[in-house]
Chains A and B, each alone.
Chain A
Amino acid sequence: MSILVYIEHAEGAIKKTSLEAVSFAHALSQQTGGGDVVAVGLGTIAEDQLAKAGEAGASKVLYVKDSKLDAGVIQAHADAVAQIYEKVGAKTLVLATSSLGSAVAARLAIRLQAGLVSNVVELPDLSSGYQVKRSIYTGKAFALTTVDTEHKILAIKKNAIDLKTDGASASVEVVSLEIDQANFATTIISTDQATGEVLLPEADIVVSGGRGLKGPENWGMIEDLAKVLGAATGCSKPVSDIGWRPHHEHVGQTGVKVAPTLYIAVGISGAIQHLAGVNSSKYIVVINKDPEAPFFKAADYGIVGDAFEVLPKLTEAIKAVI
């Protein structure tokens, strides 16, 4: 039985969350007695990038080389993946929970009559049916969910599974598909993307600032620390509401949900809505001048102190060891 994995890329580089989905599919195929793990990439992707899916656990990569698919037009991607799914004769589709991935998965759930579970955090338990653990209530709880259909779609939550890196480089086969023009009903006019930065949703380390930083002119301290760590920068909601930082940096219940190895929060009080976006982080460091700030209750390490004093010192101290 084959498993198909839909992989996303940003300007030709495969996303880490998609490689995690490949590793998940690999582990799933081992659990269910082997079978091919086929990864499918759409658009324009360098072949050596595609081959990387092999290291993450794919046995084969199908490459639909079509520049019309470079933009993430949801319906067109869904149509391409459905055609490949049928061609491969797969019974399960695995992908990353992301804005494009989830949208594609939703359309495919209807088209393939497949049961769909999102935010999956573990391999399914097959001892009693097909039971999947998924994260709900923005990380505040889990639901054990059975999938009651023959065809299954699992959308994996980021950082939920260890990335496999020791697989063999996979063979890449270019396939061409006919995609009906009707699937391009939404037209992308332009994109406006920050380049050269570490993307927040994918970042391994995040340095975030809150209202405690007093104004946008003080973000240099946050950026310096982020630079030393190779981290992405984030912020609390009021900070993006007032326009100190761009909206796509806002972390929390109503913003980006991050799941980095290390989250450093500076001058953020730790309101429950902010915590909802960071509670999947492995380690949390809090710097706040108020010892009663609620964020300390969710933190692993903390410093009670003035950010303007502590942050430059911390950046220097980290520079000295890495």
Chain B
Amino acid sequence: MKILVCITHVPDTTSKIQFTDNNTKFDKSGVQFIIGPYDDYALARAVELKEQLGASLTVLNVGEADTEPTLRKALAIGADDAIRVNAFPKDSLFVASEIAAIAKENNYDLILMGRESIDFNGGMVHGMVGQLLGMPSVSPVMKLDIEGETVKMAREIEGGKEYLEAKLPLIAGCQEPIAEWKIPNMRGIMSARTKPLNVVEPSQNQSATSVVAFKLPPAKGSVKLVDKDNVEELVKLLKNDAKVL
């Protein structure tokens, strides 16, 4: 059994988002990067499955050299080896075609991703890889168990859950509570230093969209406070000013 987990290298969820170079580049200064939170769930579940089934576990990122600490962290959490496709991830098609090319070579049984990246929030890459490989893709998956060749899943739908089954091979976009985030321990961190991190050049170089510029939303005005003993005032504001009642 071979498992692949695709991870993003994204600004920490508390980061202030800013741009440089005339709003054409993300400003990395002072920003801490992390494994995408949904990818972290995917990775945590993959580590559990690896232990349970004796599977091999590879992590993959399409990104430039500065993403390597993030891949090392995934190795420390429990992946056996890592692959970095050495390229700026231009758009979801670019990322998906590189992932599909690697997957074709290595025949993974299960490919786990996050439900979405928290930088571009596409929620697209798993579906694209699925179409490219002719494999089913399911997202957002909040529970995933493997029994023989069968994968049993719970998927979140608006206002509830859907229980479904499929056969391997399969792609799933994960979210909580599929597993608890894992924090690397000392032994993991030590062993991660010597685990293989293979860098490969992009082989497909496909894309369909280009970002021309970034923009920040307009700043929020200051809050209008209402006295706690005069809630009628708030109701009046909601009715007459905001016109939402």
Contact = CB atoms under 8 A, between A and B. Distances in A.
A191 B157 contact: yes
Given A144-B215, A253-B37, A254-B176, A191 B162 contact: yes
A227 interface: no
A75 B120 contact: no
Contacts of A10: 158
A265 to B, nearest CB: 12
Nearest to A17: B158
A194 B128 CA distance: 30
B187 interface: no
B214 A142 contact: yes
A285 B234 contact: yes
A315 B140 CA distance: 35
B183 interface: no
B212 A109 contact: no
Interface stretch (A47-55, A99-107, A164-172): A99-107
B124 A317 contact: no
B232 to A, nearest CB: 5
A93 interface: no
Contacts of A5: none
A106 B125 contact: yes
Contact of A189 (B38, B164, B221): B164
Interface stretch (B49-57, B80-88, B190-198, B236-244): B236-244
Contacts of B208: 109, 113-116, 147-149
Closest 7 CB pairs of A and B: A106-B127, A305-B228, A193-B160, A115-B208, A110-B131, A107-B131, A106-B124
29 contacts: A10-B158, A100-B157, A106-B123, A106-B124, A106-B128, A107-B131, A110-B96, A136-B119, A141-B214, A141-B217, A142-B217, A144-B211, A145-B211, A147-B208, A147-B209, A148-B207, A187-B166, A188-B162, A189-B163, A191-B163, A192-B162, A248-B156, A248-B160, A272-B13, A300-B223, A301-B224, A303-B234, A305-B228, A317-B234
Interface of A: 10, 71-72, 74-75, 78, 97-100, 102-111, 113-119, 131, 133, 135-149, 185-194, 197, 199-202, 205, 229, 247-248, 253-254, 261-262, 272-273, 276, 279, 282-283, 285-286, 296-306, 309-310, 313-314, 317-318, 320-322
Interface of B: 11, 13-14, 17, 19, 37-38, 92-93, 96, 115, 118-128, 130-132, 136-140, 142, 156-167, 175-177, 207-217, 220-221, 223-228, 231-232, 234-235, 237-239, 242, 244-245
Given A141-B217, A188-B162, A303-B227, 10 more contacts: A75-B130, A99-B139, A103-B126, A106-B131, A136-B121, A137-B121, A142-B215, A145-B211, A188-B163, A254-B38
